[in-house]
Homo-oligomer: A and B are copies of this chain.
């Protein structure tokens, strides 16, 4: 792996820039990313069984994730603004143990553009997870977000990438 492969955000003299994608083809692109949120069992129970209706915390988180996908280029300095064609964010139970539980957020983003939408999917998953933290933090400050990672991308010159295994290389 050569440096210029890694640092495509830097111009030849080392200055940060938003890379020129003028010559890249407009193709359909999709990206799927996820994030895990580990919490106490009591917090999980409160999310799932609360009297006021199952799914509320999850709904707010999903909407926050969708809206965050649209703000990605405002947040990530060298990320191109992209007109998104589709965004969905799902929060689901992933594991429930005696003392702890894990929810998983999965975000999918589609566009037809010169650049991919990995950052939009990762940002959506991250902000959805942070929204869960915000809504439950009073009772459980130890909640931890992990496994923020790209699950799949397709489209564009670099082709398809699919994470071989959820616990795979560089996995947290």
A binding-site residues for B, Cβ under 8 Å: 1, 3, 5-11, 13-22, 28, 36, 38-40, 42-43, 46-47, 50-53, 55-57, 59-60, 62-64, 66-71, 73-90, 100, 110, 112-114, 118-119, 122-123, 126-127, 129-131, 133-150, 153, 158, 161, 163, 168-172
Do A66 and B56 touch across chains, with their CB atoms under 8 A apart?
no
Majority SS at the chain A contact face: mixed
Q: Is the Cβ of B66 less than 8 Å from the Cβ of A75?
A: no
Contact: B7 with A135, CB < 8 Å? yes
A69 CB to nearest chain B CB (Å): 8
Known A51-B14, A142-B149: A135·B78 in contact at CB below 8 Å = yes
| Chain B: CB-nearest residue to A1 | B42
The 4 closest A-B pairs by CB, nearest first: A14-B52, A146-B172, A17-B88, A20-B86
Q: A172: which B residues are within 8 A, CB to CB?
A: 36, 38, 144-147, 172
Chain B neighbourhood of A112, CB < 8 A: 22
Q: Which residues of B contact A57 (CB under 8 A)?
A: 7
Among B1, B59, B74, the residue within 8 A (CB) of A70 is B74
Report the bound CA distance from A169 to B75 in whole Å: 30
> Smallest CB–CB gap between A76 and chain B, Å?
5
Instruction: Given A64-B75, A171-B144, A172-B146, decide whether A86 and B21 contact each other with a Cβ distance below 8 A.
Output: yes
Contacts of A119 in B (CB 8 A): 130, 133-134, 137
Instruction: Tell me the nearest residue of chain B to A119, going by C-beta.
Output: B134
Given the known A-B contacts A38-B172, A90-B15, are A83 and B85 also in contact in the complex, defined by CB atoms under 8 Å?
Answer: no
